[in-house]
Every structure is written in C-alpha cells, then in structure tokens.
Amino acid sequence: MAKIKAIRGMNDILPEATPVWQYLETTVKDVVAAYGYSEIRMPLVEQTDLFKRSIGEVTDIVEKEMYTFRDRNDESLTLRPEGTASCVRAGEEHGLLYNQTQRLWYTGPMFRYEKPQKGRYRQFHQIGVETFGMASADIDAEVIMLSARLWKKLGILDAVTLQLNSLGSNEARAEYRAALVEYLEARKDQLDEDSVRRLESNPLRILDSKDENTQALLDQAPVLSDYLDDESREHFSELCALLDAAGIRYELNPRLVRGLDYYCKTVFEWVTDKLGAQGTVCAGGRYDGLVKQLGGRPTPAVGFAMGIERLILLLETLDVVPSSVRQSFDVYLAAEHKGLQGQVIALAEQLREELPGLRVRVHCAGLKNISAKARQTGAPIVLLVKATDDNQLAGALWCGEEPRFDIAQADLSREINAVWNA
C-alpha cells in the first residue's frame, strides 16, 4: 500500500525542532505577562461569514486562500485564516468588550491555501496580541513597545525595522481611494495584471505591489497622508512622539496599507532583509470599526500578529538560539550492568525530586558499550552507575573529557547539582 504523507504545505514539527519552538513560545509568554496580557484560546473552525464580514469579500484571503467547506448541517465553515476576527467574535460573544478594556494574546495554527515556500505555508502558526476599549495612541505605542521588547529578548532587534503609516478614518480613506483609482485608471495599460484586477476590488492593495513598473508608476500617485483627517493626523503624531520618547526607531512608509479591510489609523510592520522575499515578521494596526462590523457596540481596538515559522527561520538564520535550548535533557543516567536497572530508575526519581528542573534521561536499551553510547548522546552530564563491594551504588560522572569516579550515592545529588549550576 502507498504511504500516506502530510498534506502539501502542512508540515510536521519534528523533535529536533520543537525545543526552538518552545523557547520562542516561552519567551513570548514572559514578555506578554510582563505587560499584563491574558491568554485567550479560540476554535480552529468558525462560520465563514465571520471572515467575509471582517477581512472583506474582495480580499485575496477570502477570494482565493480560505479552506471553506459545508458540514453535515449544510453550514459554511472555514478553518481560520487569521486570529483577530476570531478574537473579536469570542470577546463579543462572552461579554468581554462593551465598556471594558482588555489586553489579550493567543497562539495557534492558521490556514491559507497559498503556494508553499520557505517561510510561507498552508498551515502556519501565529502569535497574536489584541487590545480593546482604548482609543488613544498610548496603547498603539504599548503594543509596538511590547514587540520591540520581544525582539530585544530574542536577540534580533538589530535585524528588524519598524515601518509605520496611518490609514486615517474610513471617510478619509474613501476619499483617497477615489483619487487613487482616478489616477490609476488613466494609466491602466501600464499596470501589472494583478494590479488591474485589484483596481476594481481593492485598489489600496496596489500600493503593496511588488511589480517594479507599478511601483515606479506610484511615485507620482496621490499620497494617503495628504488625505488624513485631523483626528488621525493628531493620533499618528502622538504615536510617533511616544515612540521617539521610548527610543523606538521607525521608518515612515506611505505605501504600507496591510491586506485586511478592517484596519484604520495606525498600521505597522516589522520587516527584515535577512530572509529574502519573506521579509515581514510581525504586522498589525488599529481596527476601531471591526467590533461594530461584527455586530457589537463601537469599540476601539489595536493589535498585531507574528508568524512563528518565519520568526524561527530568522532566529536560526542569525544563529541567536542559545545552544542550551536544543538540549532536551541535562543528565544521561545509565547502569553498568542490567541487574542495577531498577536501582538506577529509583535513583533517577530521587534526582528529579531533590533537584527540581533537572531533566534526567535513563538509558533503557542494551548495555553493550554503554559508556561510549552514553557519552555519544551529547548530554552535558553523563552518570554511569555501578555497584561497590559493599553493594552500594556509586557513579562515574562525566562533564567534559575526564570522569570523576566512585562518587557515593549519598553525594550524587550534591555533585550533580554543583556541575549542573556551574
């Protein structure tokens, strides 16, 4: 029979890779906890209308990339392509949003039918941060500062650049959209095929075009900042001042619009030039109208999402993952002969009890060439246990090249602790 393989673009995360994932996830948990954010967990499957109403029916995600199917009740369901809409739905459904402030975060898989390539997959994982009930620029600044602190803790701050823009109010954006369409319609024959399609459905996304001729054409196009309403202009100015005061460096990018319909005012991306075409590692912005759009009361909101696969790729490209992260255990414990195996297992339990946090792996296979095999595991500490003449346990302890022989059982915990913490 033919072997069954994973679906293209939906990858297994193997044991050799999971320590780096755990390192990233633990670091994120520490940072969001430092800012007082609470975790929320949403289902993988939502009603299709949730994403049509939030992301926008004429976006690439809804038109071409969603995994949508009908269940046995003939309801249209979709594997979530992003987390913000689900978070808003959950917050509104459970009464967390109206007349309240919330700081939430989540992590988990998302699904989009895209052409798989390095750093872009059909099942991918995101970490998201969402805040609700706060309309002022200080919360915009906070979520950006939170992300900057994460980059600093991961050792990648110097490899990423913050790009900022303001989309203004819905009314200001509509006025700009009309001016942009008028400009581009007169030059339609110079646009690339994808931009021609977007001209009818989502013209602001043309600003994001990677086509060189289209980008050159946009040099003379109307600029969004010229159409900003006074409130949005003041909001953006305050945000920039807060980031300046915090020492957060940024670039203004007037063509940054993001790919989702629900954004307004602040939008931002953290980008890198270390990963080739997949340069965005974190992106977000303000979406004050989304809660109302999904049936709730008007609620200001701002947040961001980051792709875990792409962040891990960046960490490994820059070689900033601590070497200790990849080691899944601290002590490799083996018996000199099979008759001691029961005592060795008991000793392992004793060490785990006396030294909380110590990761002990017990050798449970054949004992031929056990000393060499134990040391070949790459464990930072190897303990080979034998019986003394008076039927007591003693150990030979390796940490480096030279073993320390005949350490009495009563002294093993103390000796291992000293080596472990050295």
Same domain, 33 and 139: yes
**Count of all residues that appear for the chain in the document:** 422
The verdict on residue 173 lying in a domain is no
pLDDT at 83: 96
Q: Residue 204: which of 229, 225, 173 has the closest Cα? A: 173
pLDDT at 33: 98
The verdict on residue 221 lying in a domain is no
Same domain, 286 and 336: no
What is 337-368 written as a DSSP string? SGGGHHHHHHHHHHHHHHSTT--EEE--S--T
The verdict on residue 157 lying in a domain is yes
Phi, psi of 361 (to 5 degrees): -110, 125
pLDDT at 174: 84
Q: DSSP letter at 99?
A: T
Q: Residue 211: which of 224, 225, 197 has the closest Cα? A: 197
Same domain, 298 and 253: yes
Same domain, 313 and 396: no
Same domain, 305 and 338: no
Structural domain ending residue among the three candidates 291, 318, 345: 318
**Dihedral (Cα; 390, 391, 393, 394), 10-degree rounding:** 40
pLDDT at 353: 93
Same domain, 267 and 343: no
The verdict on residue 111 lying in a domain is yes
Is 191 in contact with 184 (CB distance < 8 Å)?
yes
The CATH number assigned to the domain holding 24 equals 3.30.930.10
Average confidence (pLDDT) per 10 residues, the chain, 422 residues: 93 94 97 98 97 82 91 97 96 96 98 86 96 97 98 97 92 86 88 84 80 87 89 96 97 82 89 86 94 94 96 96 86 82 88 92 74 72 77 71 71 82 75
Q: Residue 384: which of 330, 339, 418, 337 has the closest Cα? A: 337
Same domain, 76 and 46: yes
* Residue span of the structural domain in which 260 resides: 18-168+228-318
User: CB burial class (10 A; 0-12, 13-18, 19+) of residue 265?
Assistant: buried
Same domain, 114 and 258: yes
Same domain, 141 and 271: yes
Count of domains for the chain = 2
The verdict on residue 183 lying in a domain is no
For residues 204 and 267, give the distance between their C-alpha atoms in angstroms, rounded to a whole number: 13
Q: DSSP letter at 377?
A: T
pLDDT at 37: 98
Same domain, 238 and 378: no
For residues 110 and 65, give the distance between their C-alpha atoms in angstroms, rounded to a whole number: 11
Show the tokens assigned to 109: 């898989």
Structural domain ending residue among the three candidates 318, 341, 369: 318
Buried b (16+ CB within 10 A) or exposed e, 283-307: bbbbbbbbbeebebeebbbbbbbbb
Same domain, 313 and 360: no
The verdict on residue 372 lying in a domain is yes
Same domain, 353 and 308: no
Structural domain ending residue among the three candidates 283, 318, 353: 318
The verdict on residue 182 lying in a domain is no
The CATH number assigned to the domain holding 333 equals 3.40.50.800
pLDDT at 263: 85
What is 267-333 written as a DSSP string? EEEEE-SSSTT--EEEEEEE-TTHHHHTTS----EEEEEEEHHHHHHHHHHHT-S-GGGG---SEEE
The verdict on residue 175 lying in a domain is no
